[in-house]
């Protein structure tokens, strides 16, 4: 509605669900009196910061499609789901586990992040980093509870940075990166629970017998590029793996 001022909301202290999307807001300070707020959506505004007064019961926030440049000032203790899609964020620094101890889902798709270093929220279960400019994976060893990691459309050429401490990671999307060799894919062997991997639109996916080459290195996979692994495919990959070991 083209709103620029929401000070009228200050008096509605019992509001729990607020959607202010598609306005022209630059300031959310009037919301600081809404201490009962559970859910907030402010997509498509003119915000340059996600910083707000701490709200004790807030569980879901969406700041998609704003002009936010960093992750500073987000400190809601019960926040479980935070979305900052399509902003101008360049660094993963700024989030603190001490202040966001309940955060489980973090959506940072379509920003300008270059490395995963500094993401200080290690209890995450789902992390979405597609369509950034990530060329190095750092600090992932702290994500012991992470189950889903989306890295589609980045600039990864190497797969260093994964750790055997990531013992819950089941789904990994690496589509549209620059992974050329199966030696890089082999580094994913450290992920004990990896079941679904997406490698489409990487140079290595153009190689002959690509699926068998991946499966012989990661025999625990259940799906590759969204397709289930067939039993005869699994047996053939196992033979290739054994032959390689003998050599």
State the pTM of this model: 0.95
- Residue 10, C-beta contacts closer than 8 angstroms, at least 6 positions apart: 30, 33, 34
Tell me the pLDDT of the chain (247 aa) as tens digits.
999 999 999 999 999 999 999 999 999 999 999 999 999 999 999 999 999 999 999 999 999 999 999 999 999 999 999 999 999 999 999 999 999 999 999 999 999 999 999 998 989 999 999 999 999 999 999 999 999 999 999 999 999 999 999 999 999 999 999 999 999 999 999 999 999 999 999 999 999 999 999 999 999 999 999 899 999 999 999 999 999 888 8
CB distance 126 to 147 below 8 Å: yes
Backbone angles phi, psi at 207, to 5 degrees: -70, 150
Do the strands 60-62 and 39-41 form a parallel or antiparallel pair, or are they unpaired? parallel
Rounded to whole angstroms, the Cα distance separating 168 from 172 reads 11
CB distance 44 to 65 below 8 Å: yes
The helix (run of H) or strand (run of E) holding residue 214 is helix 210-217
Provide the 3-class DSSP secondary structure of residue 216: helix
Q: Helix 210-217 to helix 231-246 angle, to the nearest 10 degrees?
A: 70
Provide the 3-class DSSP secondary structure of residue 54: coil
Q: Return the residue matching tokens 């203790």.
A: 77
């Amino acid at each position: 509605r083209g709103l620029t001022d929401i000070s009228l909301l200050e008096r509605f202290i019992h509001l729990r669900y607020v959607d202010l999307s598609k306005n022209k807001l630059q300031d959310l300070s009037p919301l600081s009196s809404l201490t009962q707020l559970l859910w907030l959506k402010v997509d498509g505004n003119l915000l340059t910061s996600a910083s707000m007064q701490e709200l004790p019961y807030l569980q879901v926030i969406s700041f998609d499609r704003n002009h936010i440049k960093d992750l500073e000032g987000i400190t809601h203790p019960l926040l479980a789901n935070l979305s900052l899609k399509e902003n101008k964020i360049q660094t993963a620094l700024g989030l603190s586990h001490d202040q966001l101890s309940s955060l489980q889902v973090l959506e940072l798709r379509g920003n300008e992040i270059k490395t995963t270093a500094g993401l200080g929220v290690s209890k995450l279960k789902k992390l979405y980093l597609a369509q950034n400019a990530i060329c190095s994976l750092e600090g992932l060893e702290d994500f012991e509870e992470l189950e889903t990691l989306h890295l589609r459309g980045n600039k990864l050429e190497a797969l260093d940075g994964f750790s055997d401490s990531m013992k819950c990671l089941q789904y990994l999307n690496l589509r549209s990166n620059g992974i050329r060799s199966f030696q890089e894919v082999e580094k994913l062997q450290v992920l004990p629970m990896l079941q679904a991997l997406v490698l489409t639109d990487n140079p290595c996916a153009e190689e002959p017998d690509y699926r068998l080459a991946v499966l012989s290195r990661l025999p625990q996979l259940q799906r590759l590029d969204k397709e289930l692994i067939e039993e005869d495919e699994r047996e053939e990959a196992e033979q290739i793996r054994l032959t390689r070991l003998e050599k």
